[in-house]
Copies of this chain bind each other. A is one copy, B any other.
């Protein structure tokens, strides 16, 4: 098993600065020194944020074929698997079979599953995808749902710190998944704050929960979820390695470790530092291009103005290599009861 080799399965978007899906994850993981193979579930000219796109989807059969091709050459020795946007249940099932195959091998494989289904109460995959994810999460080592996806998977409506905490407990309990991070949580109580909460369960399944307060950077930026997932995989791996845990099952640590000392918690603190710096740079560059701080809500979806705004809001990834590699700032967590 080559434990620094990652297979990423997500969308591919053929557009300059069109950083979503595998375009984001591949570059971020490579920059972190990991070898990456990317299997593209769709090939679109640009991401859906532009509301106009051309391209084609990879079929479930093609996904399976590509993986079989790797196997045929003995090239399936991945130490890590990162899966993201997969549009149909057939394809999610095909990816599930690949994950099962990879995890069944000697030495195993760490699976970061980003159960991409929707955001802000809106689904953007077919409805049949949810039950398939429900059956697959059991196999994952770490899941990184956003608030809406966490609600779908846990059955808990997240609208307060206690319900956020309960959702995490439920995700551990229902799916027996060792590590959970819920990204970009906001409550509708007027608070202009965002939370990012996570937990690594002990060997007996007891959650160890932490939560970060995240500064909100105004604007709509596509691909942030993908950037988060890729950074999280790379940083968690690094933090696990510091503790000699990269050979442990699911990179699990000793039960005596507290929530704030968890490799996962330390990793997320660094991830959020990079995210913050990249988003600040992206926002600055956007405002420079647009010459004004026009708000997304004022622009008609799909209009020329909207496209200009979307384009100006693309993540500044290649321009922020040092911010990604060495953020220098980190976020501090507190224990979530």
Footprint of B on A, CB under 8 Å? 2, 5-7, 12, 14-18, 26-27, 30-31, 33-40, 43-46, 50, 52-56, 58, 62, 65-70, 72-75, 78, 304, 307-308, 311, 317-319, 321
Contacts and interface: CB of A to CB of B under 8 A. Distances in A.
A15 B75 contact: yes
A45 B73 contact: yes
A307 B55 CA distance: 33
Q: Work out how many copies of this chain go into the complex.
A: 2
A74 B289 CA distance: 15
Nearest to A63: B14
B37 A14 contact: yes
17 contacts: A14-B66, A18-B75, A27-B27, A30-B318, A36-B318, A43-B58, A44-B66, A45-B65, A46-B69, A52-B72, A54-B68, A54-B69, A54-B72, A55-B62, A56-B62, A73-B307, A74-B307
Given A40-B43, A45-B66, A73 B55 contact: no
A168 to B, nearest CB: 32
Contact of A70 (B15, B33, B68): B15
Contacts of A50: 73, 75
Nearest to A19: B35
A62 B56 CA distance: 8
B43 A69 contact: no
A318 B34 contact: yes
B46 A17 contact: no
Contacts of A43: 40, 43, 58, 66
A34 to B, nearest CB: 7
Contacts of A2: 16
Contacts of A54: 65-66, 68-69, 72
A43 to B, nearest CB: 7
A318 B29 CA distance: 9
A17 B45 contact: no
A169 B110 CA distance: 55
Contact of A66 (B17, B40, B55, B69): B55
B35 A16 contact: yes
Contacts of A7: 16
A83 B198 CA distance: 44
Contacts of A14: 37-40, 66, 70
Given A46-B69, A54-B72, A16 B5 contact: yes
Given A311-B75, A318-B34, A45 B16 contact: no
Q: In this complex, which of A5, A14, A36, A56 has the most chain B Cβ atoms within 10 angstroms of its Cβ?
A: A14
Given A15-B75, A35-B318, A73-B311, 8 more contacts: A17-B35, A30-B318, A43-B58, A45-B68, A45-B73, A55-B69, A73-B307, A74-B304
A317 to B, nearest CB: 8
Contacts of A5: 16-17
Nearest to A22: B14
* Nearest 3 Cβ contacts at the A-B interface: A45-B69, A54-B69, A16-B37
